[in-house]
A = this chain, B = another copy of it.
């Protein structure tokens, strides 16, 4: 009886894990190079942690249940509430706080391309500063991770400011910008006609509705931001966004576009919002985030400005695969073959010597013919075979075979490590 995996969940075989590990390790090491420190938190939290922030609608998409102790709990659907819970439950942590995490998160929704019921999500947040320096640093980190993954030039970062949007909408005489946000949030999902109709149905003029359509329809160069205010004075929020982009230039982040259609749902963002997209336009947003200065207050008496972003593993791994990006291999891999009546002890000691010199070593532990061993070694992706046979070993030697060319050479055990170190396969 073969039991299946649950629909919408993934198994990761070694070939799938290669790219996942590359994402984990790159994101972590770039975050650490910015002074971010890793945290972690439970996969289960009290459901009230999300009730506060999200309301019942999101709760319907969670894996929630009552545990054996009668607690109403849920598999975490995102990282931010747990992160803020950790931060606000301790008073002794000096600001700014730069934290990153890499938890699994869960949503009960219909699986589709790039969306699963369970995924890994990288998160990075800066708590404390409320200024544009922090906004720029978090975008620079996001961009640094994509560069580290080999995607330089292949993506663009689209930024917006929810406060600036309010300023612009207020300038159009719109009293309730949030109604407009929720319509703008559906921009990429509806036709032009529906979009304009929706805006007019909440009281916008046809002219303003068409202007908003135009503003949403194309990401533009950041220089265009002041143009959004026509002949009027550019608002403070707009100036701030322009400053943020100026700082990003010094971080070497070039591919920044302004995009009025980025609102990031109806969630808790209070200023900057941004998303990164593959330039080919094939995929959903690779990552997204923004400023959320009011969230800590919901969980505590504390007022802690915050800016951060999240990146799921699903879209980025699809993108890396589509671009043929391969995880780099730092270490040489060697297969130690056992021929004839050579004792397992000899294989163990040769393997130990090679491992302690930094090689990846698979050793023959079955009792197969040499040709089967060599075939398996290639299958496993080893670069070299070290063939330990009776006759060679009597002379304290082994045969080293380059598995890509088939060339081989007899090498004494004393020379084996330096010989493999200087060999260049492929």
Contact = CB atoms under 8 A, between A and B. Distances in A.
A17 B102 CA distance: 12
A101 to B, nearest CB: 9
A312 to B, nearest CB: 15
Given A9-B44, A73-B6, A88-B2, A348 B32 contact: no
Interface string A108-145: 10000000001000000010110111101100100010
Contacts of A67: 63, 108
Interface string A42-60: 1111101100100000000
A131 B365 contact: yes
A266 interface: no
Interface stretch (A184-192, A220-228, A246-254, A397-405): A246-254
Contacts of A133: 344, 347, 365-366
A41 B366 CA distance: 27
A216 B5 CA distance: 41
Interface residues of A, number: 99
Interface string A334-373: 0100000000111111011001001111110111000000
Contacts of A73: 6
A34 interface: yes
B2 A299 contact: yes
B250 A348 contact: yes
Contacts of A249: 345
B35 A345 contact: no
A89 interface: yes
B94 A376 contact: yes
A213 to B, nearest CB: 35
A65 interface: yes
Contacts of A5: 41-42, 45, 85, 89
Identical copies of this chain, number = 2
Nearest to A37: B14
Contact of A13 (B3, B86, B126, B251): B86
A194 interface: no
B89 A2 contact: yes
Contacts of A43: 43, 75, 104, 106, 118
A52 B140 contact: no
A195 B355 CA distance: 45
Contacts of A380: 35, 94
Nearest to A89: B2
Contacts of A45: 3, 5-6
A365 B13 contact: no
Contacts of A299: 1-3
Contact of A252 (B34, B88, B352, B366): B352
> Which of A3, A4, A69, A380: most chain B Cβ within 10 A?
A3
Contacts of A11: 39-42, 86, 89
A140 B347 CA distance: 13
A391 interface: no
Interface of A: 1-6, 9-14, 17, 20-21, 32-35, 37-46, 48-49, 52, 63, 65-69, 71, 73, 75, 85-86, 88-90, 94-96, 98-99, 104, 106, 108, 118, 126, 128-129, 131-134, 136-137, 140, 144, 246-247, 249-252, 299-300, 331, 333, 335, 344-349, 351-352, 355, 358-363, 365-367, 376, 379-380, 382
28 contacts: A1-B299, A1-B300, A2-B85, A2-B89, A2-B300, A3-B45, A3-B46, A3-B49, A5-B85, A6-B71, A13-B86, A21-B38, A33-B355, A33-B360, A34-B355, A35-B333, A35-B363, A42-B118, A43-B118, A94-B376, A98-B362, A128-B366, A129-B365, A132-B344, A133-B344, A246-B345, A247-B345, A251-B351
